Each structure stands twice: as structure tokens, then as C-alpha cells.
């Protein structure tokens, strides 16, 4: 059995309009990479070979916390080195911490000879994600681990539903050079919401699932409305309202904030519109003196996997 393995985990879009805390999907790119190696020290050591800033303290790094949770579940005491080749910057709103959590537990599970089913790794990955966001939400973790478009029906017990979706759905994603901390960003959202907002949110999430299942692009587009987080979080994304208008004029199905932001995503039914959307996103942020990186990507069927 090998002592070392390289794992890839996809970036993910969570919240997905009305799907606040309960919906997410995996992207074909970017992919985060983590090398996991057994060590003889009986401890978890962290090595960062990327430009991304991540905690080197095993109590603060989401990956080591996730692995500790897995080892506790398995009642195993072993040591691992985690060598980070991070390709997704922390705080990007595209699941950097989730990719680190799933890559870590997936890698350790492989090195241990797969004592756990992949789906059962969710709980340990969530324990890691908890320290990044301060709340238990699986809408990045579940698609990062399993791929596809995911609905989380319940947290207690966890009930994850893989949705079917149109295969030519294309996501345009922009990551502006701004940092929004998930913990801080969650504080912006009121604890209680109005009945009207709750009804609208429920209608939109149900319609979004129906649209995805029946390849009804128009329905997908008009359901991508969020009454809970977007009204509060969009204020911290310069040019957001103009961007929404321009993207709508260019023919995307819909758009919203990815995760807690600052990344923004748009869905299209063809690659040409998705490419146009990328240019609009980049230009609109530049008008606000903000550099950005854009991705045009399909929804990935595959989640976390072995690279080599
Ligand atoms: P994202 O959506 O990009 O994951 P979050 O704000 O949810 O953004 O998570 C990033 C936070 O998690 C940062 O405070 C970062 O320092 C912390 N963190 C701890 N370990 C890691 C890791 N291995 N990879 C990414 N972020 C990590």
C-alpha cells in the first residue's frame, strides 16, 4: 500500500440563489490539490507549497481538524503530513476551505485502505469546515466531495440529495480581488426572516430544483433569487447591481453571489454567453479598480478524487 497520495478537490458554488445553506454544485475548474503522506511522528504536520496563506497550526487548519475527526471516528492513532498545493485562495467564496477538508479526509481514507464509504466522510469534513465558517453547513463540502448539483434536505440527520441537471449548463465565475470572511459575512444576515421572504425563498428553491430536473432553462433563470443573504451581502461587492443588469442583458439565465462572496456566479445554457459574461464581470470590477480572475466551467460530475 502506498504511503503517499495526491488528491484533487473541486471548487464549489454554494448557496446557489435561493439555496442558502442547502444547495451547492461542483465546478470542473479550478481544482485544489493536496498531497497526503503517512509519517512516523503520530502527529499531523502541515507544509504549504503554495502562495495561499493558510494556518500552519494543526488546530487551526481545516484539513488537520477534519483528519483528526476521521481518525477519532475510526479510533486510529496515526500521523500524516499534509503538503498543500493550494489553487483556490481562502476567502474566495468558492469553497477553498471545503476543498481542503474533503481532499484531506479522502486522502487519509485512501491511505488507510478505504475503511469508510466516500459519503460517510462528510461528517469529518464538516468538522473541519466548522472552524472556518463557525457554522455547520455542507453546501460546499457535499458537492466538493461527491461532485454534481447537491441539495441538503436535512442536517440532523444529514440527508444529501444529488440532483439531476442539464448537462450543458455552464457556470461563469468571477473572483474579485477582495476578501470577505465567511464568519464575518454570516453576521450580516438577520437571525429571523419575514414570512413573505420565507414564502418567496421556498417557491424559488422548489422551482429551481424543478427547472434543473426538467432542463427548463427559463425556470432555472427566474428562480435564482435569494431573499435571505444577497440583499445584505451584495452591498459589499462594488458594482453588484450594475453587474446584474449587464449580465441579464447579455443573456445569462441568472446570477447570484457564490457562497458568502465576494465571488459571483452566472449560469448560461451555452459557452458563448458564458464567455461574454466573463468579460462583463472582469470589466465591471475593473471600473471599480478591482482586479479579478474569471472561470468558465461546466458543472463537474466528479468530486474529490485521486490525482496520482
Ligand atoms: P472559502 O469559501 O474560500 O473557503 P472561508 O472564509 O469559508 O472561504 O474559509 C477560509 C478561512 O478558512 C480562512 O480564514 C482560512 O484561514 C481558513 N482555513 C484554515 N485552513 C484552511 C485551508 N486548509 N484551506 C483554506 N482555508 C483554510
Read off the pLDDT of residues 224-254 as tens digits, 9 standing for 90 and up: 999 999 999 999 999 999 999 999 999 999 9
DSSP H or E segment with residue 4 = strand 4-14
| pLDDT (0 to 100) of residue 186 | 79
Sign of the torsion angle spanned by Cα atoms 92, 95, 96, 97: positive
138 and 212 part of one domain = no
Best residue among 46, 62, 229 to mutate for probing ligand 1, ranked by most atoms within 8 Å of CB:
62
| pLDDT (0 to 100) of residue 135 | 79
Domain span including residue 214: 170-298
What total number of domains does the chain contain? 2
**What are the residues whose beta carbons fall under 8 Å from the beta carbon of 99, sequence distance 6 or more?**
9, 10, 11, 12, 31, 32, 88, 140, 144, 304
CATH of the domain at 113: 3.30.230.10
- Distance from Cα 62 to the centre of ligand 1, integer Å: 7
pTM of the complete model: 0.95
237 and 286 part of one domain = yes
Read off the pLDDT of residues 51-60 as tens digits, 9 standing for 90 and up: 999 999 999 9
189 and 158 part of one domain = no
111 and 218 part of one domain = no
* 61 in contact with ligand 1, CB cutoff 6 A: yes
156 and 74 part of one domain = yes
Taking residues 39-51, report their average pLDDT. 95
220 and 175 part of one domain = yes
16 and 146 part of one domain = yes
210 and 288 part of one domain = yes
* 258 in contact with ligand 1, CB cutoff 6 A: no
131 and 239 part of one domain = no
Amino acid at each position: 500500500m502506498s504511503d503517499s497520495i495526491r488528491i484533487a478537490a473541486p471548487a464549489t458554488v454554494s448557496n446557489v440563489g435561493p439555496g442558502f445553506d442547502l444547495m451547492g454544485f461542483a465546478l470542473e475548474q479550478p481544482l485544489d490539490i493536496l498531497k497526503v503522506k503517512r509519517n512516523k511522528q503520530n502527529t499531523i504536520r502541515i507544509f504549504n507549497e503554495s502562495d495561499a496563506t493558510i494556518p500552519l497550526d494543526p488546530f487551526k487548519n481545516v484539513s488537520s481538524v477534519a483528519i483528526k475527526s476521521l481518525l477519532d471516528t475510526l479510533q486510529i492513532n496515526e500521523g500524516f503530513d499534509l503538503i498543500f498545493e493550494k489553487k483556490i485562495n481562502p476567502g474566495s467564496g468558492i469553497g477553498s476551505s471545503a476543498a481542503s477538508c474533503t481532499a484531506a479526509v479522502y486522502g487519509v481514507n485512501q491511505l488507510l485502505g478505504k475503511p469508510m464509504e466516500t459519503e460517510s466522510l462528510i461528517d469529518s469534513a464538516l468538522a473541519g469546515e466548522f472552524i472556518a465558517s463557525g457554522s455547520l453547513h455542507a453546501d460546499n463540502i457535499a458537492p466538493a466531495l461527491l461532485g454534481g448539483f447537491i441539495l441538503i434536505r436535512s442536517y440532523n440527520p444529514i440527508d444529501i440529495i444529488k440532483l439531476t441537471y442539464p448537462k450543458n449548463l455552464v457556470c461563469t465565475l468571477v473572483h474579485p480581488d477582495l476578501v470577505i470572511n465567511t464568519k464575518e459575512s454570516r453576521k450580516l444576515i438577520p437571525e429571523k426572516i419575514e414570512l413573505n421572504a420565507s414564502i418567496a425563498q421556498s417557491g424559488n428553491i422548489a422551482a429551481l430544483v424543478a427547472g434543473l430536473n426538467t432542463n427548463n432553462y427559463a425556470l432555472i433563470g427566474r428562480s435564482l433569487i435569494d431573499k435571505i443573504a444577497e440583499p445584505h451581502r451584495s452591498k459589499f461587492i462594488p458594482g453588484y447591481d450594475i453587474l446584474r443588469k449587464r449580465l441579464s442583458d447579455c443573456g445569462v439565465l441568472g446570477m447570484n453571489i457564490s457562497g458568502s462572496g465576494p465571488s459571483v456566479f452566472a449560469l448560461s445554457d451555452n459557452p458563448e454567453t458564458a464567455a461574454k459574461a466573463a468579460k462583463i464581470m472582469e470589466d465591471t470590477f475593473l471600473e471599480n479598480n478591482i482586479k479579478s480572475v474569471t472561470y468558465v466551467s461546466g458543472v463537474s460530475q466528479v468530486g474529490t478524487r485521486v490525482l496520482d
